[in-house]
Amino acid sequence: MEQRAKAAVTEQISDYDPASALDGPEAIAMFIADALHTGDAAYVASAMGVVARTKGMTALANETGLSQEQLYKSFSEGGNPTLKAMLLVLRALDVYLTARPRQQ
């Protein structure tokens, strides 16, 4: 029984891409807000990569003036995007970065 349970855990269920669920600016804004809330820069960069895929890297590169290579590198899990790159990508997706006081 234990052998069977281990096999079930290692089997891939699907090729789900979270980018497919981000179907508009509101969903994207909530997704990025949740990532920012973690305070983890690597997680935010990775989440931005997911968001960037919703539009497509080629279209995003054309609209932002950033190269596809820069987009992939900046918005990977180990990426370190500049504020300029983040703002350009978010603007291209009709999402704006805002600040609010931290809740205690």
Q: Which pLDDT band, with edges at 50, 70 and 90, does 12 fall under?
A: low
Q: What is the pLDDT of residues 45-93, one digit of tens each?
A: 889 899 888 888 999 999 999 999 999 999 887 888 999 999 999 899 8
Q: Which pLDDT band, with edges at 50, 70 and 90, does 10 fall under?
A: low
Encoded tokens for 3: 């052998």
In this structure, what DSSP letter does residue 65 have?
A: S
Please give the pLDDT value at position 96: 86
Encoded tokens for 81: 């995007």
Encoded tokens for 1: 């029984």
